[in-house]
Amino acid sequence: MPVWLNRQRALLDFALSSLGRRLGKTLGLAVVYTLIVAVLASVMLFSHAIRREAAQVLAGTPELLVQRLVAGRHDMIPAERLDAIRAVRGVKSAEGRLWGYLFDPAAAANYTLMVPADRVVEAGSAVVGSGVADVRGVAVGDLMSFRAHDGNLVQFRIKDVIDNDSALVSADLFLVSETDFRRLFGVPADRFTDIVVAVRNPREVRTVAEKIDAALPDTRIILRDEILRTYESVFDWREGILLVLLVGAILAFAIFAWDKASGLSAEEKREIGILKAVGWETSDVIRLKAMEGTVVSLGAFLAGYLLAYLHVFHWGAALFAPVLKGWAVMYPEFQLTPFVDELQVATLFFFTVFPYTLATVVPIWRAATVDPDQVMR
């Protein structure tokens, strides 16, 4: 074993010295290689992290949502439907929700107005998300005014600003009291936007949904799992668009890498001929050149992945975050939790390191099997 290790160490030393003699070519290839790996890894890291963040946030959403449909459109649901839903076997609780969207001409942005169930907001007051506070330049104690459905002006005094820790879902929130919500939109006291339902047994969610659907035919039942799948599809779609846009750069790199790996220069051919002439076996030459390719590709992969990690988790993925977050006036500012998926790393490693390493073997094998005298000529 020590003999074998010493042999591999000697081959590695020789490979590094050989790369050093072609420093310009090696650095040029390594820089391009690193940038391509960094871009691909950034897309994968960011999309996976934001998908995981969304899944954790949505894990706390209601198990069932019940919405009323009129002519195929979402409509306000009567409060009397609460009793009908609570009477369904398996339902733990059912509560009406009030929420909607309000366009703010001053910021050219849509806010999500909502009556919170987990906190009390006094009439005339409001709790806003960090995105709303930034885009309107308001702070605690400031006033914001909107026109109600009847044209009258409704004023809100900012009571609190939600911190950035939950900005992924709270950036555009505008929390108000039930009285102010109904006054602003003209919603009657016996109407709700939708109804949230909690189920006693999580394994019976679909069964309970089918019972509610049978009891209330004019409603639409939305499951938490369906919301999660929708978000997954959205993130997959946006990630796919970004990767398609990068196809040109990836193909250009593939051509560049193949040309650099497969096109042996006269100096490299002469070096192979000398090695064969002094007694090197063909397998040793192939192992040496494969080791050179491995050093370049592995070094570029590690550097590119480290650069991608810093870009996503420390620099906010500034290059393409708007594409994956979505286009909006208020971009949510939040810090992603660093997370690395082993399968993702292995996939990226396989598709970036192995092709280049293998591309170096074929031309080396051809040159190493030719008579040394002919090669040196």
Per-residue HEC secondary structure of 252-320 comes to HHHHHHHHHHHCCCHHHHHHHHHHHHCCCCHHHHHHHHHHHHHHHHHHHHHHHHHHHHHHHHCCCCCCC
Amino acid at 362: V
Q: 272-288 as b/e, with b when 16 or more CB fall inside 10 Å?
A: bbebbeeebebebbbbb
The CA distance from 264 to 359, in Å, is 11
Q: What is the pLDDT of residues 335-377, one digit of tens each?
A: 677 777 888 888 888 877 877 777 777 666 666 666 655 555 5
Helix axis angle, 282-313 relative to 342-359, nearest 10°? 140
**Which DSSP symbol is given to 117?**
S
The CA distance from 82 to 70, in Å, is 18
The rounded percent of the chain whose pLDDT value lies above 70 is 76
In the chain, where the domains are located: 7-58+233-376, 64-222
**Residue 190 contacts residue 80 (beta carbons within 8 Å):** yes
For the ranges 8-17, 185-194, 339-348, the lowest mean pLDDT is seen at 8-17
Angle at 267 between CA 371 and CA 367, to 5 degrees: 30
DSSP string, 203-253: GGHHHHHHHHHHH-TTEEEEEHHHHHHHHHHHHHHHHHHHHHHTHHHHHHH
pLDDT for 265 equals: 62
| C-alpha 251 chain-centroid distance | 23
Residue 181 DSSP SS3: helix
φ, ψ (nearest 5 deg) of residue 78: -65, 145
pLDDT bin (cut points 50, 70, 90) of residue 293 is confident
Q: Is the pLDDT of residue 329 over 60?
A: no
The CA distance from 160 to 297, in Å, is 52
Residue 112, C-beta contacts closer than 8 angstroms, at least 6 positions apart: 99, 100, 101, 172, 173, 174
Q: Which two tokens stand for residue 263?
A: 């096109």
Q: What is the mean pLDDT of residues 118-146?
A: 89
Q: To which residue do tokens 């001929």 refer?
A: 273
Long-range contacts of the stretch 75-81 (C-beta < 8 A, 24+): 76/187, 76/188, 76/191, 76/192, 76/193, 77/191, 77/192, 77/193, 77/194, 77/195, 77/219, 78/190, 78/191, 79/189, 79/190, 79/191, 79/192, 80/190, 81/195, 81/216, 81/219
For residue 104, list its beta bridge partners: 109
The rounded percent of the chain whose pLDDT value lies above 90 is 30
Q: What is the pLDDT of residues 123-133, one digit of tens each?
A: 999 999 888 88
pTM (whole model) above 0.75: no
Look at 327 and 253; give whichever has higher pLDDT.
Answer: 253
Q: Is the pLDDT of residue 215 over 60?
A: yes
pLDDT for 32 equals: 82
- Tell me the CA distances in angstroms from 91 to 196, 212, 261, 270, one per residue in order: 11, 9, 65, 80
